[in-house]
Amino acid sequence: MTKHTKNEEKSELPKDLTWDKPNLKGDWLNFYFLILLYTLQGTTSGLSYAFPIILQNTKFVTYNDQAILSFVLWPFSFKLLWAPVVDALHFRWIGRRKSWYIPIQLLIGVLFLIFGDNIDDWLPESGKPNLNSIVCVLFLINFLAATQDIVVDSWALSLLKKNNVSYSSTCNSTGMAFGLYIGSVCPVLLSSEYFCNKYLRFTPQEGGLLSIKSFLLFWGFVFLFVTFLVIFKKERNKELEEDDHLKINIIQSYELLWDIFKIKHMKLLLMAILTSMIGLSTSESVTNLKLIDAGVSKDDIMIITTAMFILKICLPIFVTKYTTGPKPITLYLKLMPARLLWSIIFAVLIYYTPRIIQNNETVPTYYYLAMGLAFAVNRILAQIMVTCMVAFFSRISDIRFGGMYMTLLNTVRSIGWVIPNTSFLKMVDMLTFSSCSNDVQNSCSTSDLENICNINNGNCEAIVDGYYVEVIICLVVGFIWFAVYKSHLKFFESKDRSHWLINLNRPGDI
């Protein structure tokens, strides 16, 4: 394994380094195939977003419990540790990507069936849920899904034509959004008696259209069926797998990963990606839970969320001409200040929600319109920014080692999301200061003090709500990030694609 040097011959690098206008003619089937794969991935992640809403509605969990539940998404942040193994090992007669995709998807399908078979015991209608079992199964599902993500991201780089690689971000955004909708919204709304009777039935009946159990069992069989179909999908760009100079073992694969780190400006780029979500964490991770605490029903939250997923699914199609262009990061930076400031809108909405709900027998229509508008603008900004970032990743990734390259970039982006997400969920209670309504000496800082207050016919009332403190912290941190990294990111975008490739001294080195 040789290290890349400063003076490599251009002939040793892949050809077609320039940006060519995308054209999906002859690539449409692969385009839809990728959307299907990303949809299934999104469904697994969607469950991890549904359960915080379901559990918060039971009133038997704390924000600390929610922080524990958020750990189920952490495998996506550490998949880089085993990405080189996925890139290095495969059976040629099956295919470089299918060697991993097929067994992983089979296991996910089986876990869905096991989860569905036990969910009634783990999530009783009344009483505290079995949080440990739910967390363990979701964590294992996400571990497999994270490994699958390595495979699909890499497959996307070789499946689409070189000039269409940027469309992989559109496949990712659209498919993941549709899958997230299926996995997060459907089990909540379709199992809700209130929602189904109000919106889907002519005559009221007991229970929802389906239970969470039936949802999990159905999708378990869907995963198994799609796995069977993938068996017959031929992999493209076989020459990338058969070239002897690209055959690497696991040790060399990890050395290649280190070579990616050593590319000039890569460390600074990774640092910018890693810290990019800190300023947005509170508005993205805590807002829904605070609205439920403020009195908004989980069904109403999920109805709004449904509309947001429709935006997520459709929006990438309309903004493709901007995100697949030569400057996706420029658009990303233009939208960042607006998205940071939008957290103030969420804070105002949450502040007035209890007053509006408590002072009216039914929630006014204007409130739902205001809440829908707040979420819609935020979702539009977020979806365009995510699509821009993924398009940039696809643009600079070395197709020869796409699994590691895309996984590195996406993993850093994921770490930059889940760590602040978990941290700010835990900090809500820490930054909230309360006192008992009939005993100012009682700070209600522990469950015992809360019980004492309740026994004495008092209520624990927040003096300082940690959510608003976090909004201020995130705003300050977000604008500092913008000031520090804006010029750097524009510079990275201006670099030729060859700058980001792993350069080899001679073909036989690996």
39-60 pLDDT, tens digit per residue, is: 998 899 888 888 888 887 776 7
How many other C-beta atoms lie within 10 A of the C-beta of residue 298? 22
Sequence letter at residue 31: F
116, 159, 161, 162: which is closest to 141 by C-alpha? 116
Lowest mean pLDDT among 55-64, 295-304, 418-427: 55-64
pLDDT tops 60 at residue 1: no
Grouping H, G, I as helix, E, B as strand and the rest as coil, residue 436 is strand
Amino acid letter, residue 4: H
Q: Tell me if the pTM is above 0.75.
A: no
Torsion of CA 75, 77, 79, 84, to 10 degrees: -170
pLDDT score of 377 more than 60: yes
The answer to whether the CB of 53 falls within 8 A of the CB of 288 is yes
Say how many C-beta atoms besides its own lie within 10 A of residue 396's C-beta.
Answer: 21
CB-count burial class (<10 Å; 0-12, 13-18, 19+) for 394: buried
Indicate the range of 240-254, 336-350, 364-378 predicted with least confidence: 240-254
pLDDT-based confidence at 216, cuts 50/70/90? very high
| 192 vs 495: CA distance, rounded Å | 52
What is the separation of C-alpha 135 from the centre of its chain, rounded to a whole number of angstroms? 17
Is residue 277 within 8 Å of residue 417, measured between CB atoms? Answer: yes
CB count, 10 Å around CB of 351? 14
Do 46 and 184 touch, CB atoms closer than 8 A? yes
Q: Lowest mean pLDDT: which of 13-27, 303-317, 385-399? A: 13-27
The DSSP bridge pattern shows strands 460-464 and 433-436 to be antiparallel
Tokens coding 358: 């408590």
Place of tokens 């201020």: 472
Q: Please give the Cα distance from 336 to 340 (Å, whole number).
A: 6
Phi, psi of 3 (to 5 degrees): -90, 145
- Distance separating alpha carbons of residues 172 and 38, to the nearest angstrom: 6
